[in-house]
């Protein structure tokens, strides 16, 4: 009988992909050890393109962490006298649900210590925001697939500074290896929104990772902050993702969090009275006064435009200038509950764009307190009977009230029963006398 042995094959180090420029950044080091030390607490526009980006060492080329970027598959090896044979091991989900829960707790602690809510949201958005609804094949269609961990995509202008977010999350990824990068990015963004006071997001997990940098999308799929025609540009980019005007405006409301730094995006002031003291690394220009609190103040502040220390990008101003966008922007400025509802739906939709789920229906790690509780329906427990329709109930009620009854009390006199008894007695007497 064959003996069953499980092996996890190791991958040989990948060939070096260093360029002279990248090597210079690491002061002549033979290979990258980890992402360089960076400022961790700032962010810029969640969807905007920077005119400047730094050359980064390819994480995947590091012998120390290259194994994290490869799809490792457990293989069952059957050893017998006839030789070796392999068959696939029993399949599991893309991400382990228990590890997802553990990673979320570690992310919460990270948020409390680093105040990195904005940049984690931006990381998740930029991984998902490359989706093209006109491309059917995965991963060519882009979307939430973890491709943003590779150097080629991190070097896109719109992703300037996101290496900081990746460095923050890498220890959590190392600890919870059963969670995909695609799920980790979206989990981090959703947790950041909720921990900042935002709505509970209806998230699901189980996203499959791309396996290599050759599967990254081309540059240019993310929005610019200052295009010649801001409203048209927003529609061009977000319509390509399958999103509508309401979702565009709702998602823009996430700029209630974060700051823009001119050295990264070319937008904003070096510092303001709201950012000069942090929290986290000081500097940059925020859209709101309390830029680590998720609420509807973004829409209020953009509408008023009274504070020169608050940032208003051309794409922000377009929300109150375009007639269709303005309907939703005005609504959200007045009604935070409506904003939270629409934002939660739009964020969850964005986080699923282009993703390939395993299992296909995804994995939900948050069950509502009453989830699974069955609503009591009396008719279900009656034998062969159904509940009376509302029309029939109203008819019975009307007939009952017509003779002096009501739902709250019986008839004052049971004269119907008395009349029926008298009629029955008379009928009996007539029958007897007739005989």
User: Could you tell me if 205 and 100 are in contact, meaning their C-beta atoms sit under 8 angstroms apart?
Assistant: yes
d(CA 361, CA 388): 37
**Is the separation of the CB atoms in 160 and 265 below 8 Å?**
yes
Main-chain dihedrals φ then ψ at residue 205, nearest 5 degrees: -135, 180
Long-range contacts, 283-286 (Cβ 8 Å, 24+): 283/42, 283/259, 284/42, 284/44, 284/259, 284/260, 285/259, 285/260, 285/261, 285/309, 285/310, 285/311, 286/258, 286/259, 286/260, 286/310, 286/311
Active site (annotated) includes residue 18: no
* Residue 83 backbone phi and psi in degrees, to 5: 125, -155
Q: What is the maximum alpha-carbon separation in the chain?
A: 128
Radius of gyration of the chain (CA): 32
| 99-138 burial code (b ≥16 CB/10 A, e <16) | bbebbbebbeebbeebbbbbbbbbbbbbbbbbbbeeeeee
Among the listed residues 18, 117, 126, 255, the single catalytic one is 126
Distances 2 to 37, 284, 304 between C-alpha atoms, Å: 51, 65, 76
Cα separation, 350 vs 124, in Å, equals 9
The residues that are catalytic are 126
């Amino acid at each position: 009988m064959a003996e069953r042995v499980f092996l996890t094959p190791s991958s040989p180090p990948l060939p070096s992909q260093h360029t002279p420029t990248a090597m210079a950044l690491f002061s002549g080091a033979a290979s990258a050890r980890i992402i360089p030390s960076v400022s961790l607490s700032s962010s810029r526009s969640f969807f905007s393109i920077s005119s400047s980006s730094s050359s980064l060492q390819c994480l995947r080329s590091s012998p120390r962490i290259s194994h994290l970027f490869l799809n490792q598959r457990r293989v069952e090896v059957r050893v017998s006298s006839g030789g070796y044979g392999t068959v696939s091991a029993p399949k599991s989900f893309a991400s382990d649900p228990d590890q997802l829960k553990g990673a979320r707790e570690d992310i919460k602690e990270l948020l409390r210590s680093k105040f990195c809510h904005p940049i984690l949201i931006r990381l998740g958005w930029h991984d998902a925001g490359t989706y093209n609804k006109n491309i059917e094949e995965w991963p060519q269609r882009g979307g939430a697939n973890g491709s943003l961990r590779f150097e080629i995509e991190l070097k896109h202008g719109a992703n300037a500074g996101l290496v900081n977010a990746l460095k923050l999350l890498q220890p959590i990824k190392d600890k919870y290896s059963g969670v995909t990068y695609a799920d980790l990015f979206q989990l981090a963004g959703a947790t950041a929104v909720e921990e900042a006071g935002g709505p509970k997001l209806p998230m699901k997990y189980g996203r499959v990772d791309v396996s290599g940098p050759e599967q990254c999308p081309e540059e240019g799929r993310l929005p610019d902050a200052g295009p010649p025609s801001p409203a048209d540009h927003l529609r061009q980019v977000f319509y390509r993702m399958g999103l509508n005007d309401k979702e565009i405006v709702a998602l823009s409301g996430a700029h209630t969090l974060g700051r823009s730094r001119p050295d990264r995006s070319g937008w904003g002031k070096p510092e303001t009275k709201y950012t000069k003291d942090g929290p986290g690394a000081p500097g940059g220009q925020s859209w709101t006064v309390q830029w680590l609190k998720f609420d509807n103040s973004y829409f209020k502040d953009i509408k008023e435009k009274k504070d020169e220390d608050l940032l208003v990008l051309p794409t922000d101003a377009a929300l109150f200038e375009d007639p269709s966008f303005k309907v939703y922007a005005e609504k959200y400025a007045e009604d935070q509950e409506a904003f939270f509802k629409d934002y939660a739906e739009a964020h969850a939709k964005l986080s699923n764009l282009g993703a390939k789920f395993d299992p296909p229906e995804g994995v939900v790690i948050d069950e509502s307190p009453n989830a699974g509780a069955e609503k009591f329906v009396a008719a279900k427990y009656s034998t062969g009977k159904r509940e009376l329709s509302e029309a029939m109930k109203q008819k019975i009620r009307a007939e009952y009230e017509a003779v002096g009854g009501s739902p709250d009390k019986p008839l004052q006199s049971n004269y119907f029963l008395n009349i029926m008894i008298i009629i029955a007695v008379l009928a009996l007497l007539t029958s007897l006398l007739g005989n």
